[in-house]
Structure 1
Amino acid sequence: MTLLRLIFLTALLLPASAKALSVDVNFNQAANSVNAEIDLSSTVSLDFSVGFEKAVGLTPQNFSIDAELVSLTDPRVVNRLPTSLLTSLPAAFPVLISVEPDPTKGFAFSGAATIELYTKSLHYTQGTPLRLFHAHGDETFQDITLMTGSGSYRVRGSTGQFSDFLILVDLRDNLDVISDKVSQLENFTNAVRQQLSFDAETQLVDLVQELSSALDQGQHPQAMTALNELIHVLESDNGTLYPDVWRSSDDVINVRGRLLSLTQTLRYSLRIN
Structure 2
Amino acid sequence: MYASKTLLKVAVLLLGFSLSSYSTSAHAVEVPLTINAQQNSLNASVELSALVSFDISVQFENAVGLTPQNMTLEAHLLNLADPDILHRLPNSLLTTIPQAFPVLISISPDPAKGFAFSGAYTIEIYTKSLHYTEGTPLRLFHSHNNGTFADITTMTGSGSYRVRGNGGQFSDFIVLADLRDTNTIIQSKLARLQNIANNSQSLLAAGAYQVLSDAIDNVSIAMNSSNKGQALSALEHLIHLLEADNGTIYPDVWRSSNDLNNVRGNLISAATTLRFSLRIE
Distance in structure 1 (CA, Å) of the matches to 2:266 and 2:29: 28
> Does residue 35 in structure 1 map to residue 78 in structure 2?
no
CA distance in 2, matches of 1:31, 1:86: 38
1:23 shift after superposition: 3.6
Give the corresponding residue for 2:75: 67
Give a deviation string over 1:73-99, Cα, whole Å, max 9, x none: 112210100000100100000000000
Whole-Å separation in 1 of the counterparts to 2:97 and 2:157: 19
Question: Which amino acid in structure 1 is aligned with residue 54 of structure 2?
Answer: L
CA distance in 2 between counterparts of 1:17 and 1:168 reads 22
- Give the counterpart of 2:160 among 152, 163, 169: 152
**Are 2:181 and 1:173 aligned?**
yes
Q: 1:116 aligns to what?
A: 124
Aligned equivalent of 1:205: 213
Q: Which runs of 4+ in 1 moved over 2 A?
A: 10-24
For 2:280 and 2:48, how far apart are their aligned partners in 1? 32
- Give how far 1:206 is off: 0.2
Distance in 1 (CA, whole Å) between partners of 2:247 and 2:24 is 41
Q: Does 1:54 align with 2:89?
A: no
- C-alpha distance in structure 2 between counterparts of 1:185 and 1:255, whole Å: 11
- For the residue of structure 1 that corresponds to 2:251, the secondary structure is coil
Q: How many residues align?
A: 264
2-structure distance, mates of 1:144, 1:12: 27
Aligned twin of 1:6: none
SS in 2 for 1:149: strand
Long gaps (5+) in structure 2 = 1-16
1:106 partnered with 2:114: yes
1:68 shift after superposition: 1.3
Higher deviation after alignment, 108-117 or 19-28:
19-28
Instruction: Label 1:45 to 1:17 Cα distance change in 2 as closer, same or farther (>3 A).
Output: farther
TM-score relative to the length of structure 1 = 0.93
Q: 1:136 aligns with which of 125, 134, 144?
A: 144
TM-score, reference length from structure 2: 0.91
CA pair 217-107 structure 1, distance change in 2 beyond 3 A: same
Q: CA RMSD in A?
A: 1.6
CA pair 189-17 structure 1, distance change in 2 beyond 3 A:
farther
Greater share of residues in helix? 1
1:239 to 2:247 alignment:
yes
Measured at CA, do residues 17 and 266 of structure 1 come closer, stay the same or move farther in structure 2, by a change above 3 Å? farther
Contact 1:124 1:151 in 2 (8 A): yes
8 A Cα contact 1:72 1:89, kept in partner: yes
Deviates more, 1:61-70 or 1:46-55: 61-70
Q: 1:233 and 1:211, CA in 2 relative to 1: closer, same or farther beyond 3 A?
A: same
Aligned partners of 2:176 and 2:19: how far apart in 1?
23
Instruction: After TM superposition, give the deviation of residue 18 of structure 1 in Å.
Output: 5.8
In the alignment, what sits opposite 2:238? 230
Q: 1:201 to 1:18 in 2, by over 3 A?
A: farther
Q: Which amino acid aligns with 1:184?
A: R
Distance change >3 Å, CA 213–CA 63, structure 1 → 2: same
Partner of 1:26: 34
The aligned amino acid for 2:138 is: L
Asked if 2 retains the 8 angstrom alpha-carbon contact of 1:25 and 1:65, the reply is no
Contact 2:139 2:175 in 1 (8 A): yes
| TM-fit CA distance, 1:60 | 1.1
Q: What residue is the counterpart of 2:11 in the other structure?
A: none
Return the letter of the residue paired with 2:210: T
Structure 2 residue aligned with 1:196, among 199, 204, 207?
204
* Aligned position for 1:263: 271
Q: In the alignment, what sits opposite 2:104?
A: 96
Does the 8 Å contact 1:18/1:68 carry over to 2?
Answer: no
- Indicate conservation of the 8 Å contact 1:22/1:66, yes or no: no
**Cα deviation digits, residues 145-186 of structure 1 (max 9, x gap):** 000000000000001000000100100111110000001111
% identity of equivalent residues:
56
Q: Any gaps of 5 or more consecutive residues in structure 1?
A: 1-9
Q: Could you say which structure has the higher strand fraction?
A: 2
Contact 1:15/1:72 (CA < 8 Å) preserved in 2? no
